A and B are shown apart, each in its own frame.
Chain A
Amino acid sequence: MAGNDHGQQRRRIVQALGAAGALGAMGAAAPAFAQSTKLKVGFMLPYTGTYAALGRAIENGFKLYVSEQGGKLGGRELEYFTVDDESEPAKAPDNVNKLIKRDNVDVIVGTVHSGVQMAIVKAARDNNTLLIIPNAGVDEATGPLCAPNVFRVSFSNSQPGLAMGIVAALRGYKTAVTITWKYAAGEQSIGGFKETFEKGGGKVLKELYVPFPNVEFQALLTEIASIKPTCTYAFFAGGGAVKFVKDYAAAGLKDKVALLGPGFLTDGTLDAQGAAADGLLTTLHYADNLTTPRNTAFRLAYAKAYSSKADVYAVQGYDAAQLLGIGLRAVGGDIGQRPLLIRAMAAAEIDSPRGKITLSPSHNVVQDFYLRKVENGENKSIGLAAKALADPGRGCTMG
């Protein structure tokens, strides 16, 4: 009982501080009253299957920021609803409707899988539900399907490719061969690389494709050996990434044709790749060894709260909460003031553990990309690959 009273007291103090802070920030213009009902946040994330760990990291990151704010965003307490999307596109329309129609949520946070994401974006557009995408990179979400109520705090598939193309051209690589699975995420990543690499004076000699999710690379590795480019840009993830990196090294190509890729090529797979990944260069918006005070504090808090290491997905979940917080603070917790809320979110400057991030006119994140090198089983940042890199948002008619 005593502990409870104490907790309530502390919460009231935090509340008062929050209200004072909000008042201070916005002057007397917006009334910072606490809304009586809770704000409904719907997590549509994978909680089972291959991506289960990613879903949990995103939710953990989101809740970490909320608890740092005393359990409230913009003066509103939050109520969570969760749906396991199983990374199953076929079930996605039904699943997203559970949150929108049954639970009547105010905002959806989801998801990881690009196919599922397409269904969520469509439903969010149809029902005008606020949506924050914490991972899936499918270009369309902030391209042809962009909408005022759709935001992405992670990356677009093109972005890491765009960053790596710049690096490859700067390093003086003249020719490249690209290789990926024949599916949207791979093709968009390759498209990004090709765009900046050729703009920088390089030439992509051939684009090689493997049917998804086939992992027989030997034939195409032989093809790369016969073309002899100066570098190879590869997009694979998970088991495919492990096998490709190992096969590439086993084929003796690693020392002769530089292997480049987006961060997904070596993220969460380094233990399995072993020495085959040593020295590999990748680009991503996060690295294991960022020593900014912001990131150090974040990683410490995350480790304390969940006794596990924070990763890029946790950062993305954390920033989804930050973005929502900025919007809610601008309207004093009144989610009904949609235009004002969206304007504040679109103009947000977020102090992310990865560095400062903002949003592009198509509501995709604008962020620095790190060039990372695999050393001793870690993805170590060795500098910036591109500063404040934005996705062109092709096909988006907004903004």
Chain B
Amino acid sequence: MDLPIFLIQILNSVQYGLLLFLVASGLTLIFGIMGVINLAHGSFYMLGAYAAFTLSSLTGNLFTAIALGVILAVAFGYALEWVFFSFLYKRDHLQQVLLTYGLILVFEELRSLAVGDDVHGVPVPASLSASIPLGSTMTYPLYNLFISAACLVVAALLFVLLRCTKLGMMIRAGAANREMVQSLGIDINFLFRVVFALGVALAAFAGMIAAPASSVYPGMGNQVLIICFVVVVIGGIGSVIGALVAALLIGFIDTFGKVFLADYSGILVYLLMAIVLVWRPEGLFRENAA
């Protein structure tokens, strides 16, 4: 492997890692702060991608579609928490798994009824459809770089929100000690509803922004869900920084695994997870949550 190709592969790794982070960050928030195992997280990703497909063909503009979609996702997440998840905090994890698994089936079926089982594509917006030549035979699509930039911006915003705002402080306090926060007069139910809505919006946003570079198809969420749980477990449950580091790590392992250890590339990521769990059962960034 010569140097230019090696550098392109590093770019590929970072790009895949950042996208993984975007999906997994919502999962780690909901999982870490609310203690809810949300198997339906991948479905929100899928719904986001289908929303991008439907809304962008209705409005004719991907960015309008994404803006609309994020608003819808926040409202949807807020309502879901109210109707279903708010009853789950005091129940055990098995009931959470049952509910969220049920939601996967419901969402898939609703999707099938609403838009059918066909595979769809979302056109890349004209302003971002250019490619940058890299090396002699390859070009790099500008849209992929745009995805990476968007992921970085979201990561920074999330970090600022959790670290530097009052809301972030309340969220972190609520994660650490629910009763104490409640006794200080903070509406914990509202707080959790906001966190859940934020988590859903992050997953849906990831689905929407990835849709033009990827494709939109039934069952796409479940595939993402598994790798997201790996990210969350490696990074440390509830840690946004941990999710970022773990996602980038997986990006590198997956990319270079496919190139150098093709026969084992399917298991490398899970091997990494096993090693991290043996070494640090709490994940890489557990103790300093956020």
Contacts and interface: CB of A to CB of B under 8 A. Distances in A.
Do A and B originate from a single complex? yes
Interface of A: 49-50, 52-53, 182, 208-211, 213-216, 218-223, 225-226, 228, 238-239, 241-243, 246-247, 250-253, 256-257, 268-269, 271-274
A252 B131 contact: yes
A53 B118 CA distance: 9
Contacts of B254: 216, 219
Contact of B262 (A209, A239, A251): A209
9 contacts: A210-B258, A210-B265, A218-B15, A218-B144, A222-B5, A225-B135, A252-B137, A256-B137, A274-B121
A243 B137 contact: no
Contacts of B110: none
Contacts, number: 117
Contacts of B144: 218, 250
Contacts of A221: 138
B117 A213 contact: no
B61 interface: no
A50 B258 CA distance: 27
B120 interface: yes
A268 B118 contact: yes
Given A219-B9, A226-B2, A252 B138 contact: yes
A218 B5 contact: no
Contact of B138 (A209, A220, A222): A222
A243 B215 contact: yes
Interface stretch (B95-103, B162-170, B217-225): B217-225
Contact of A238 (B119, B223, B262): B119
Contact of B137 (A50, A211, A257): A257
Q: Which of B9, B141, B215, B255 is most buried by chain A, counting CB atoms within 10 A of its CB?
A: B215
A239 B217 contact: yes
Contact residues on B (Cβ < 8 Å of other chain), bracket: 35 or more
Interface in B87-133: 117-121, 123, 131, 133
A211 B8 contact: no
A276 B284 CA distance: 41
Contacts of A49: 117, 218
Given A211-B266, A218-B16, A238-B217, A246 B121 contact: yes
A271 B120 contact: yes
Interface in B56-76: none
Contacts of A274: 121, 123
B139 interface: yes
Interface string B237-273: 0000000000000000011101100110110000000
Contact of B215 (A52, A209, A246): A246
A274 B120 CA distance: 10
A120 to B, nearest CB: 23
